[in-house]
Structure 1
């Protein structure tokens, strides 16, 4: 099996990646291959795994991901830094098992007539304005839904619903639903201006399009990626036909992840 190791530059992560590399090189069943891997092992935290996902974006349908976390919290990472030997043993006995999660397709058009950008997010995309209030029209399946005014909007995948989306009051959605969630960020609601004021869930048969009323000075994020220097005309979001795959050696159930991440051991009878 061909393995790629993708780690951050922190001391603990580097040490784990080095040990992992040595164990793989001494294995008769595994080989290191950074260019055409079958399994990508992320060493760090959720941010490192997001970076690994975007690094191997073109191979998403061909690779499975495994996460080793070397910090305090890892929503996508199932293995601890002291379990490298057990992970290598699981890799050697791999039978192709996997679990998959939805991704978010993003199409961005620009008012300067430059070519459109096409991106894919594992967690979320946000749209904000650098200065002042963002004013934008929100369309659902090409029908005008609302005129938004506020700090911005967060558009997330089901797994990404536990990230930035949750912090701005969005709902947590099981990845069994192929849905897009739109959550408002500090929307303006008074006698003059109104928004829905609640997160909305959009099915895979519908898209969400955001049209800023002023194309300049907007910030668009796609996970850790950032666009700040282009005049944005419109952004369209829809559930992707592609998915991310994780090797299912020890893949924690989604709701167990949520409980471990946000509730912990505080579950008294």
Structure 2
């Protein structure tokens, strides 16, 4: 079976240098490298998580038919499993993983309706957030068509399990394993006092449920900023948002996939890496 690969690299010099080396290795292994417009089986991103997110947003209409592989040139990311010095092992592993089922993660589906009835649909790998351009945002929140609460604050964040380690975590949300097909809603600077009340805690939304949000500013329709992953739409008049777990899932090549909790530990604690560094130094001193 022939393998077709598309390479999506950041413009940084290091990423472009790795791309040049990777092209030679792929050619030697008789693996075809194609352009974005052509059909391909795997996309290899070179950069960081931001590069992979950009590639995902560009190719989200093909997400069900391609597998992602990430090479990171900076700190350890949640989506980029490979270091720049491991590209030979990556190419060898690519030849052996064709028949392996991919590792999949849930995606967030966002359906936005504007004030004149036009609907747009987006996918997000990490999260979606909505904020007011000015003033306090007042949002009526429904869960599975049942009214839940009216929230007053700066905005809302709705995250996937893999996105739970990003903005969601900084807002006090829980870190959720991606094996759980769930969404998490967290409030951004909500007002809670004797007059205005909301839950004030993160909410975990099950796979068979969905959120519907009607945002206003003091009861009046106005413009908002909608962000999904590293993309944003500003100054848009939003009538409603529907957010749910997508039927589609992002797929990662099952060559070597880092355990989720190891990613969390490496990103936020780092004791294992420190101990590995100490052990390497001790071995050199022996």
The TM-score with structure 1 as length reference comes to 0.95
Aligned to 2:111: 107
Q: How big is the shift at 1:21?
A: 1.5
Aligned to 2:268: 262
More helix by share: 2
Q: How big is the shift at 1:152?
A: 0.6
Q: How big is the shift at 1:82?
A: 1.1
Q: Which has the larger radius of gyration?
A: 2
1:235 aligns with 2:241: yes
Aligned to 1:42: 45
Aligned to 2:57: 54
1:118 aligns with 2:124: no
Q: How big is the shift at 1:95?
A: 2.9
Aligned to 1:14: 16
CA contact (8 A) 1:96 1:247 kept: no
1:251 aligns with 2:250: no
CA distance in 2, matches of 1:96, 1:251: 16
Q: How big is the shift at 1:59?
A: 1.3
Please give the residue correspondences for 1:33-182 in structure 2 after superposition, counting only pairs within 5 Å: 33-34=34-35, 35-97=38-100, 98-113=102-117, 115-182=118-185
CA distance in 1, matches of 2:162, 2:8: 21
CA distance in 2, matches of 1:236, 1:170: 20
Q: Gapped runs of 5+ residues in structure 1?
A: none
Q: How big is the shift at 1:96?
A: 3.1
Aligned to 1:197: 200
Q: How big is the shift at 1:228?
A: 1.3
CA distance in 2, matches of 1:66, 1:132: 42
Q: Gapped runs of 5+ residues in structure 2?
A: 276-286
Deviation string for 1:130-163 (max 9, x for gaps)?
1121111111011111110111100010111011
CA distance in 1, matches of 2:28, 2:222: 54
CA contact (8 A) 1:68 1:81 kept: yes
CA distance in 2, matches of 1:232, 1:191: 29
Aligned to 2:27: 25
CA distance in 2, matches of 1:10, 1:73: 17
Would you say how many aligned residue pairs link Structure 1 and Structure 2? 266
RMSD: 1.4
